[in-house]
A = this chain, B = another copy of it.
Amino acid sequence: MKTAVYRKSHFNAAHRLHNPDWDEVTNKLVFGKCNNPNFHGHNYELIVKVTGEIDAETGYVIDLSVLKKIVDNHIIHKLDHKNLNLEVPEFGILNPTAENIAKVIWHILRPQINHTLDLTIILYETERNYVEYPA
């Protein structure tokens, strides 16, 4: 049987929900306040879940201090105190919804984690709204 380990991090960012293929009226209708062209922002809580066998020598699935460094270097450094739409290339076209942010994080982290381990991203946009990828 496998074991999952979870590591929680956080970052703060500004964003705007917007589909460049739509006109302003449609964007406003679909995304409401989240379409504000001047941006708004969130404290994102990021939980990285790694699933695999417990190593017999260390008692770890993955060393959480190693996982923390991977997350800090590849995700927090890239997203913290940033404007997602303007400063993070992945969201040049892709709409930075919580769903898409989680998916982008997964694709960045996947090559950094041993392929024998499963990876899941849980992302809280607010205390009451959060997403999980893959589910």
Contact = CB atoms under 8 A, between A and B. Distances in A.
Interface string A79-116: 01111001100000011111110110000000000000
A30 B58 contact: yes
A57 interface: yes
A128 B3 contact: no
Interface residues of A, number: 64
Contacts of A1: 133-135
A6 B96 CA distance: 17
Contact of A99 (B54, B82, B134): B54
Interface in A41-85: 41-43, 51, 54, 57-61, 63-65, 80-83
A40 B65 contact: no
A83 B82 CA distance: 14
B59 A100 contact: yes
Interface of A: 1-10, 12-15, 17, 19, 21-22, 30, 32-34, 36, 38-43, 51, 54, 57-61, 63-65, 80-83, 86-87, 94-100, 102-103, 126-135
Given A5-B130, A58-B95, 12 more contacts: A1-B133, A3-B103, A4-B135, A5-B98, A10-B127, A12-B40, A14-B14, A14-B39, A32-B65, A38-B86, A41-B42, A59-B94
